[in-house]
């Protein structure tokens, strides 16, 4: 009973002081106070994009930092949560991959990002977070980038406070911030358990998506022990190109990855796997790449959709985004094969909050240093 009361204060009312736990006796509060804190990560900077996207740079107790992004849309508000400071991997098109320092975030630090966003959005105290059906509740674009819906322009068309019956705007979570969530499996699982618990933050697993670059050995456990929607950063359909741009491919190849997707517990036509595909000019964006993607999805009989992501540039990046004509041609080929392939609208680029632009230490690094770090990281994990 005490446990329930404490959870109620912390996760449902957003209390940040143990002294505020009014229905718990003073002695017990003092005992709790002597052993625990109800904390939040420190906000180092908070930025708002012209499109309404918000980004927070957060600092944890040991001084390490990570970013977290809120993306409001016509029908949902999506929080993009980080799982690590930096990333052990080094996908060539991703800014996070260039970071030197890496550590796993703890469950408290992961849940803390959600709590902080609720603070910032003014969403406490509001009882339980049971969510009404929204127009396209569990389908396309769990990533929150509703490519069909209008953007939220602050001050013009506020979707405001009516995403949920309790007036909550934070409706969806994507584990798509900094880091590779399946390389921090236990902490991500434990954090999401609190996020999904009816007496915790109470978000449905259908509103949570975990994205992996392809850590094949952890995918089955992700399905059974976490059970959220799966997104896979595929980005290329040949060994040659995927080895180059998503180097974990050298360890777990495309065929192995797609077999793991086919076996992902809980994937079916109502809950499809999302394949993320960053559109890089003259690298992975030919018609034959699109056709090969369709062939692979069919070969493995995957309940899948494809999310095409225009490449978001960052200082020192070596790629360009495909032309809009190329992207729409690529999308058409996949659509014509009966597979949904929306183009993800870039959000928050002006504040470096879009996919692949997150990084928490502002060092200036040369191309040579970037290449050196990539080689060093690869050596550390490729057998």
Span near ligand SF4 by CB under 6 A; candidates 86-94, 153-161, 265-273, 365-373: 86-94
Instruction: Tell me which H or E stretch contains 300.
Output: none
Residue 193: left if φ>0, alpha if ψ -120 to 50, beta else—which one? Answer: alpha
CB closest to ligand SAH, residue no: 356
Give the span between the Cα atoms of 304 and 270, in whole angstroms: 10
212 binds ligand SAH (CB under 6 A): yes
Tokens read off for 369: 């240093």
Tokens read off for 306: 């494809």
Tokens read off for 19: 């002294």
Contact flags string 200-229 toward ligand SF4, x per CB under 6 A: -------------x----------------
What part of residues 172-191 is at the interface with ligand SF4 (CB under 6 A)? 179-180
Judged by beta carbon, residue 53 or residue 233, the one nearer ligand SF4 is 233
Judged by beta carbon, residue 78 or residue 213, the one nearer ligand SAH is 213
Signed CA dihedral, 222, 186, 143, 297: sign only:
negative
Span near ligand SF4 by CB under 6 A; candidates 92-100, 125-133, 280-288, 292-300: 92-100
Angle at 320 between CA 315 and CA 326, to 5 degrees: 155
CA-closest candidate to residue 68, choices 152, 60, 76: 60
* Binder of ligand SF4 out of 58, 66, 71, 94 (CB under 6 A): 94
Contact flags string 327-356 toward ligand SAH, x per CB under 6 A: ----------------------------xx
Contact 262, 302 (CB under 8 A): yes
H-type helices in the chain, by residue range? 2-7, 26-35, 107-120, 185-196, 216-221, 239-245, 254-262, 287-299, 324-336, 367-381
The residues facing 103 across adjacent strands are 85
* Binder of ligand SF4 out of 10, 18, 71, 91 (CB under 6 A): 91
Span near ligand SAH by CB under 6 A; candidates 10-18, 87-95, 134-142, 293-301: 87-95
Judged by beta carbon, residue 65 or residue 123, the one nearer ligand SF4 is 65
* Binder of ligand SAH out of 211, 284, 322, 360 (CB under 6 A): 211
What part of residues 267-326 is at the interface with ligand SAH (CB under 6 A)? 276, 278, 309, 311-312
96 binds ligand SF4 (CB under 6 A): yes
Judged by beta carbon, residue 90 or residue 360, the one nearer ligand SF4 is 90
Secondary structure of residue 305 in the 3-state scheme? strand
Judged by beta carbon, residue 21 or residue 185, the one nearer ligand SAH is 185
26 Cβ neighbours under 8 A, 6+ residues apart: none
172-175 and 103-104 strand pairing:
unpaired
Instruction: Please state the closest distance from residue 174 (CB atom) to ligand SF4, in A.
Output: 12
Q: Which of ligand SAH, ligand SF4, none sits in contact with 90, Cβ below 5 to 8 A by type?
A: ligand SF4
Residues in the chain: 383
Q: Which of ligand SAH, ligand SF4, none sits in contact with 276, Cβ below 5 to 8 A by type?
A: ligand SAH
Give the span between the Cα atoms of 285 and 67, in whole angstroms: 29
Judged by beta carbon, residue 66 or residue 304, the one nearer ligand SF4 is 66
Judged by beta carbon, residue 8 or residue 83, the one nearer ligand SAH is 83
* Binder of ligand SF4 out of 12, 90, 312, 322 (CB under 6 A): 90
Tokens read off for 241: 């190109």
Listing DSSP states for 262-295 in one string gives HT-TT-SSSSPEEEEEEEBTTTT-SHHHHHHHHH
Looking at the annotation, which residues are catalytic? 67, 355
Interface ranges with ligand SAH (CB under 6 A): 91, 93-94, 176, 180, 211-213, 233, 276, 278, 309, 311-312, 355-356
Interface ranges with ligand SF4 (CB under 6 A): 87, 89-91, 94, 96-97, 179-180, 213, 233
């Amino acid at each position: 009973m005490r446990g329930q009361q404490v959870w109620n204060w912390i996760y449902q009312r957003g209390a940040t002081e143990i002294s505020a736990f009014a229905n718990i006796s003073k002695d017990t509060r003092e005992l709790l106070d002597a052993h625990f804190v109800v904390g939040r990560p420190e906000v180092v900077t908070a930025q708002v994009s012209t499109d309404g996207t918000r980004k927070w740079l957060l600092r944890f107790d040991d001084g390490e930092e990570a970013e977290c992004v809120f993306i409001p849309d016509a029908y949902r508000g999506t929080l993009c949560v980080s799982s690590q400071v930096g990333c052990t991997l080094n996908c060539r098109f991703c800014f996070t991959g260039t970071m030197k320092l890496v550590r796993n975030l703890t469950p408290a630090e992961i849940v803390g990002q959600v709590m902080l966003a609720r603070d910032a959005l003014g969403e406490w105290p509001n009882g339980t977070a049971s969510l009404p059906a929204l127009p396209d509740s569990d389908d396309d674009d769990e990533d929150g980038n509703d490519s069909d819906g209008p953007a939220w322009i602050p001050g013009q068309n506020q979707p405001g406070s009516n995403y949920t019956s309790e007036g909550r705007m934070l409706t969806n979570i994507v584990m798509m911030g900094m880091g590779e969530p399946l390389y921090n499996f236990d902490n991500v699982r434990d954090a999401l358990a609190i996020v999904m618990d009816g007496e915790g933050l109470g978000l449905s697993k259908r509103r949570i998506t975990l994205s992996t670059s392809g850590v094949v050995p952890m995918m089955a456990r992700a399905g059974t022990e976490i059970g959220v929607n799966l997104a896979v950063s595929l980005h290329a359909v040949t060994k040659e190109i995927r080895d180059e741009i998503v180097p974990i491919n050298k360890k777990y190849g495309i065929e192995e990855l797609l077999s793991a997707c086919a076996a992902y517990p809980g994937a079916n036509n109502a809950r499809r796997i999302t394949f993320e595909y960053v559109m890089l000019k003259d690298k992975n964006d030919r018609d034959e790449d699109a056709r090969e993607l369709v062939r692979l999805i069919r070969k493995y009989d995957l309940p899948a959709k494809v999310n095409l992501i225009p490449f978001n540039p960052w200082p020192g990046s070596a790629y360009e985004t495909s032309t809009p004509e190329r992207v729409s041609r690529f999308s058409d080929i996949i659509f014509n094969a009966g597979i949904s392939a929306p183009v993800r609208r870039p959000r928050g680029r002006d504040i470096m909050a879009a996919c692949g632009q997150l990084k928490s230490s502002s060092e200036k690094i040369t191309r040579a240093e970037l290449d050196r770090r990539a080689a060093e990281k690869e050596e550390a994990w490729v057998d």
